[in-house]
Amino acid sequence: MPVALTAIPANMISHEISLPPFPDDVPTVPIARISYAKLASSDKDEMDKTLKAVQTDGFFYLDLMDHSLGRVLLEEAENVVNFSKEAFDSELDEKMQFRAEKGKSMFGYKPAGTVKKTDKDLRPDTTEFFNIAKDHLLGNSESRTYPPQLMQHKEELQTFTRDSHALGILVLQVLAEQLDLPSEVFADKNKIDSLSGDHIRVTKKPPHDPSQTNVIGLPSHTDFGSVTVLFNWLGGLQIQSHDPERQGEWAYVKPLPGHAIINLGDAMVKFSNGHLKSAKHRVVPAPGAQAKVDRYSLVYFLRPADDVLMQPVEKYRNEPVVSVGGKVGEEKVYTAGEWMVRRMQHMSK
Ligand SMILES: O=C(O)CCC(=O)C(=O)O
Ligand SMILES: [Fe+2]
């Protein structure tokens, strides 16, 4: 039986000590483990490992325990999930007052049960979430309304935003250097003070009902933005395997205590003209005994500033244009603001 997290002193809060274990008999993808401390000190081998990870799996673990800022971020993430539970616990009609305007804005509440055209079986998803804009939290633009259970922790949300953003910027600097590009070339497109679609997402998926088959938590997708910083404590996240024996098969990314999971979004495919990858992923019910408890996850999405042009950086501009879906050919150049709106409208159709 999971221990109530509120019974644990704040500095010791740890989801993993109270949750059922991840089973050892399900297929997993062994994505690379990268050290935050080594990246922060520009360790060349670690930087090289990072580039390789995002060119193959598109995902890697980042060990947050070996760096003081990482340990702080991990505690902040656990804290955000804990107070967000209160927002999820309120009645559906209360949460619906904060609903994101479909096809118009990402920010606000999204109930479970949305059907995505991208799911070939058109299954309704089983995940609800709140998306909270960085610009609303930091006062870069006028804020929409969010549930009081979240906004009474605004300062903690601001700190989590700044620290996650800084981590994403470090990843962008590492990748630029490894591609022999000016080190700030990607970071400059993702400044924290610029207006952008950056946001926090906190998600909840209820325990799995074993009488239901073929349940999907979140259908297969790629993230839109630049870098995604993900915290989850229960299995359920899956990516496609590169193991020659099971090429393309969905397999779990096992949550590792003390680690965040980092992946790149489609904007990086665009900026790098396909030299970097945004991998497809999805969420299915957690495996084994983990399916019996609520699953929460916390995400910070770094997205390019609204006025950034969605085109390859200079070094790659003479190459044949690689589009996000892998097609080659010229495309109209949109600003990130326009691009995100188009993507969102497509998703909500
Ligand atoms: O909950 C997770 O583990 C992944 C969530 C995700 O992929 C998303 O929100 O885009
Ligand atoms: Fe995602």
Residue 129 Cα, ligand 1 centroid: separation in angstroms? 10
Least distant ligand from the CA of 279: 2
**199 strand-pairing partners:** 133, 301
Hey, how many other C-beta atoms are within 10 angstroms of the C-beta on 291? 21
How far apart are the C-alpha atoms of 238 and 250, rounded to whole Å? Answer: 6
Beta strands in the chain (DSSP E): 32-35, 59-63, 108-110, 128-133, 199-205, 218-221, 227-232, 237-240, 250-252, 259-264, 281-283, 295-302
Q: Is 273 left (phi over 0), alpha (psi -120 to 50) or beta?
A: left
Residue nearest to atom 4 of ligand 1 (CA): 237
Task: Please name the CATH architecture into which domain 10-347 falls.
Answer: Sandwich (2.60)
Q: Residue 9's pLDDT is what?
A: 42
How far apart are the C-alpha atoms of 243 and 262, rounded to whole Å? Answer: 20
Residue 137 Cα, ligand 2 centroid: separation in angstroms? 21
Per-residue CA distances from 107 to 21, 68, 199, 291 (Å):
33, 31, 8, 28
Q: Where are the domains of the chain?
A: 10-347
Report ipTM (2 d.p.).
0.99
Backbone angles phi, psi at 71, to 5 degrees: -65, -40
Q: What is the DSSP letter of 348?
A: H
pLDDT by residue, tens only, the chain of 349 residues: 444 444 444 444 455 558 999 999 999 999 999 999 999 999 999 999 999 999 999 999 999 999 999 999 999 999 999 999 999 999 999 999 999 998 889 999 999 988 666 667 778 899 999 999 999 999 999 999 999 999 999 999 999 999 999 999 999 999 999 999 999 999 999 999 999 999 999 999 999 888 888 889 999 999 999 999 999 999 999 999 988 888 899 999 999 999 999 999 999 999 999 999 999 999 999 999 999 999 999 999 999 999 999 999 999 999 988 877 766 666 789 999 999 988 887 765 4
pTM of model > 0.90: yes
Q: Residue 289's pLDDT is what?
A: 94
Residue 221 Cα, ligand 2 centroid: separation in angstroms? 6
Residue nearest to atom 1 of ligand 1 (CA): 297
Least distant ligand from the CA of 278: 2
How far apart are the C-alpha atoms of 290 and 317, rounded to whole Å? Answer: 47
Atom of ligand 1 nearest to the CA of 282: 7
Q: What is the DSSP letter of 296?
A: E
Ligand 1: which of 22, 125, 130, 203 to mutate, most ligand atoms within 8 Å of CB? 203
Residue nearest to atom 3 of ligand 1 (CA): 237
**328 strand-pairing partners:** 322
Q: Tell me which H or E stretch contains 263.
A: strand 259-264
From 55, 193, 181, select the one nearest 134 (Cα to Cα): 193
Q: Residue 105's pLDDT is what?
A: 92
From 345, 335, 303, select the one nearest 197 (Cα to Cα): 303
